[in-house]
Amino acid sequence: MIIGVDIGTSITKASAIFHDGRVGATASMPSELIQLSGGRVEQNLENVLASVASVVREIVSEATEPIEAVALTGQGDGLWLRDEAGRAVRPMISWMDARAADLIERWNRGGASSVSHQIFQLTGSGIFPGCHAALLAWLSVNEPESLRSAAVAGYCVDAIIHNLTGVITVDASDASLPFMDVTKREYVPEALELCGVSQWAHLLPTPTPTGTLFSLNDHGADLLGLPAGTMVTGGPYDLQACGFGSGTTRAGEGTLVVGTTLSCQVLTADRTIIQGADPAGMWLCTPDPDLYLRVMPSMVGTASIDWMMRLFDLTPNALNAILLQSEPGANGVNALPFFSPAGERAPFVDPLARGQFTGMQLRNTRADIIRSLCEGLAFAARHCFDTMGLDGDVAACGGGLQSEEWAHIFADVLGRPLYLPDASAVGSRGAALVAWAALGSPVDDELWRSQRRRIDPDASRSTVYDERYREYRERLESARALWPLGAPRTGMVAE
């Protein structure tokens, strides 16, 4: 068996993954998310490392078969600055961070000649406040001493590998955004220059070749309670790993991840950057050098639902029951679900994006408002898939789909069946799938795909949602013209 570890934004999970796709013992531990003024969101590396150690040790204590490897996946983007020994030179900056929002707003100006558009044409990546481009540029002006003290500007998963194995590395999926030409797996110097961060290029590690295996050093072995030399793999990062773990392995297929982030993604062999398209989303390298993952990850998914449930003094597990108290269309209530302080990053990038509810009357209930937000997120997902040109099956996973009614809303809005994996820990399963391939024992993906259940769309509800989606797109275009008039600034601008 393999111990799959998924290092999320606020919780770390480990699971025993068996070669036939079964999931055994599972452990989880929260990690601290530090919310600061000005939209800053940070994490403590030692706290995250301790969460990894805790959950792995729990699985080790319950293991019923030999442990072949530890397979790591986790949150992407953000900026995890470390010295040569893997120690943090400052708190880790989360992908949710908004300190560079004003900088992104400036980079977005100028249409096709803007910094954002030029980088998109070079790499296919949209840039947003919580990505390497913006954070490196912000620190270069406001906190250059941190960059001077660092040996590597990496991400979550490679920070953990660094501390467990002593190796400085990065998976190509993490490194894809925002400076890489994924067809060559090389950084693009012009992209670094456009962001004004060329002087920090030495902090970006060379991506690890597909199939690379690491091994626990004495320190890592002591942390995890495993023998030194135990194999370790890192990546792909969680969005891609969730797709593999859900059975999405073939070109044209898509995955919907309804988690903290609402992520829509499509596997494709065509890495054509469309001229004039919104500079949003990203292309990621996959373990197959001829296959790419086109991803549209929004800034918030279940986080906005959790927020709304708290406002109404409801627990998250009450979501399904409350959705059933309102009809499709939410009795006229409409939602634009852009509630992140950092704005939105897919299928458009706008750090000033803000959420809103319209159409409310005295007759509306809390169920209508909550359902409208769930429908708004489903419309956002359809917008992302429409932008990417989805033409295959859609697998779906994530904590939000514990609500059967919300899963049906997604199927009805997309007008497509959803295939839900008959297992938990899909991110860990995806990481384990990649690890077994590296170990020379690839899994039977047909077997894994057979362990899914199908949710079909309801034709009459899909007809209602087709019209509602058209109205959603119209409201979104109107709102985008107004956001610059009312949104407060959240950070300092790098000059």
Residues 38 and 52: their CA atoms lie apart, in Å, by 29
Nearest to 434 by CA among 161, 173, 233: 233
The letter for the amino acid at 275 is Q
Backbone angles phi, psi at 494, to 5 degrees: -85, 130
- Beta strands of 57-203 (E only): which ranges? 69-74, 80-82, 92-93, 152-154, 180-181, 186-187
CB atoms within 10 A of CB 171: 29
With 0-12 / 13-18 / 19 or more C-beta atoms within 10 angstroms meaning exposed / middle / buried, residue 46 is exposed
Which tokens hold the place of 167? 């190796």
Q: pLDDT 10s per residue in the chain (495 long)?
A: 999 999 999 899 999 999 999 999 999 999 999 999 999 999 999 999 999 999 999 999 999 999 999 999 999 999 999 999 999 999 999 999 999 999 999 999 998 899 999 999 999 999 999 999 999 999 999 999 999 999 999 999 999 999 999 999 999 999 999 999 999 999 999 999 999 999 999 999 999 999 999 999 999 999 999 999 999 999 899 999 999 999 999 999 999 999 888 999 999 998 888 777 888 889 999 999 999 999 999 988 999 999 999 999 999 999 999 999 999 999 999 999 999 988 998 998 898 999 999 999 999 999 999 999 999 999 999 999 999 989 889 999 999 999 999 999 999 999 999 999 977 799 999 999 999 999 999 999 899 999 999 999 999 999 999 999 999 999 999 999 999 876 554 444 333
Does the domain at residues 247-485 carry the CATH identifier 3.30.420.40?
yes
Cis peptide before 347 (omega within 30 of 0): yes
Q: Are 263 and 296 in contact (CB under 8 A)?
A: yes
Q: How far is CA 415 from CA 53, 80, 347, 395, in A?
A: 43, 40, 19, 13
User: How many helices and strands, by DSSP H and E, does the chain display?
Assistant: 17, 22
Residues 75 and 101: their CA atoms lie apart, in Å, by 20
Q: Do domains 2-242 and 247-485 have the same CATH topology?
A: yes
- Can you name the CATH fold of 2-242? Nucleotidyltransferase; domain 5 (3.30.420)
Residues 6 and 71: their CA atoms lie apart, in Å, by 9
Polymer length in residues for the chain: 495
Domain spans, the chain = 2-242, 247-485
- What pLDDT does 495 receive? 35
Q: Where are the alpha helices (DSSP H) in 63-155?
A: 101-108, 115-123, 132-142, 144-149
- What pLDDT does 26 receive? 96
Which tokens hold the place of 370? 């909550």
